[in-house]
Chains A and B, each alone.
Chain A
Amino acid sequence: MSISLFYFVAFLSIFFALMVIFAKNPVHSVLYLIVTFFTFTIHYILLNAQFLAIVNFIVYMGAIMVLFLFVLMLLNLNEGSVGSKSNLLKMIGVIAGMCLIITLVGSARVLNASEPLVLQTQDLGLVKNLGKVLFSKFLLPFEISSILLLSAMVGAVLLAKKDIKRV
């Protein structure tokens, strides 16, 4: 185990993230996105955020990505059904993204926060510790998020069902 593990996983994250946006077939995009999220899970384990690693694994890779694949299967999209933008627009988009990277990296350099990351307490990201914080300091937001999920469920059902025939 060495420090190079982080750089290897970071390289994989960037590589698969690029594959997500450049893959022609949307199904391949979803599969690459799942691999990207798996590398993020490894990042969380490296940061000793074990609770987040498990939640990322179950919620993102398990639930959200299956939802994406399910919708893709229902819509039955294949490669040629959606055209691509003209090369000029693609170039402009990539240049705009590069400008964003340069701006953000420049501002990060000004911050000069380059001291090494040190794990001060080993049990920072464990379920016990996070649960105590979640149910004491963040109790109200936790309850409100349940209302958010309920309203999202109602909204999704309302949007996705067929129109009621008006007589």
Chain B
Amino acid sequence: MENVTQAIQGVPLNHYILLCTIIFSIGVIGVLIRRNAIVIFMSVELMLNAVNLLLTAFSVHHNDPSGQVFVFFIMALAAAEVAVGLAIIVMIFRNTNSTDVNILNKLKW
């Protein structure tokens, strides 16, 4: 374990910010370009995970365990969100026989 953690000594904090920015933006692009509701949902998960990693990196940087406790809460929140969201997707599928978000345009301006 000592060996593994030695590897991280020296990675600049900027590179963690850069990595998380790129992953978050990939999530945003996924939400924008896909029409399948489940894939959109997975992109949202990707965004949540990018923020989790950044919180952990800052927690290590500031030597403060609060950041990692926050990540734990975000994981609990994500689990609740996935349960409700997938139930909604199942209900949409039952009503429209598809998970295409373009069918659901009744409220669209």
Pick from A26, A36, A157: contact of B39, CB below 8 A.
Answer: A26
A156 touches B83 (CB 8 A): yes
Give the complex CA separation of A159 and B97 in angstroms: 16
Give the complex CA separation of A100 and B31 in angstroms: 13
A159 touches B87 (CB 8 A): yes
A21 touches B34 (CB 8 A): yes
The 0/1 profile, CB within 8 Å of A marked 1, for residues 22-38 of chain B is: 11111111101111101
Question: With A82-B36, A82-B99, A149-B79 known to touch, is A55 a contact of B21 (CB < 8 Å)?
Answer: no
Q: Hey, which chain A residues are within 8 Å of B41, CB to CB?
A: 68
Chief secondary structure at chain B's binding surface: helix
Number of interface residues of A (CB under 8 A): 94
Q: With CB as the reference atom, state the residue of chain A lying closest to B34.
A: A21
B residues contacting A by CB (< 8 A) are: 1, 3-19, 21-30, 32-36, 38-39, 41-43, 45-46, 49, 52-53, 56-57, 59-61, 63, 65-66, 68-69, 71-73, 75-84, 86-91, 93-94, 98-100, 102
19 A-B contacts, Cβ less than 8 Å apart? Answer: A1-B7, A10-B19, A21-B33, A26-B36, A26-B38, A48-B5, A49-B59, A49-B60, A52-B56, A55-B75, A85-B35, A97-B28, A100-B25, A118-B9, A124-B60, A134-B69, A138-B73, A149-B80, A159-B84
A residues contacting B by CB (< 8 A) are: 1-3, 5-7, 10, 13-14, 17-18, 20-21, 26, 29-30, 33, 36-37, 40, 43-49, 51-52, 55-56, 59-60, 63-64, 67-68, 71-72, 74-75, 77, 81-85, 89-90, 92-94, 96-98, 100-101, 104-105, 108-109, 111, 113-122, 124-125, 129-130, 133-134, 137-138, 141-142, 145, 148-149, 151-153, 155-157, 159-160, 162
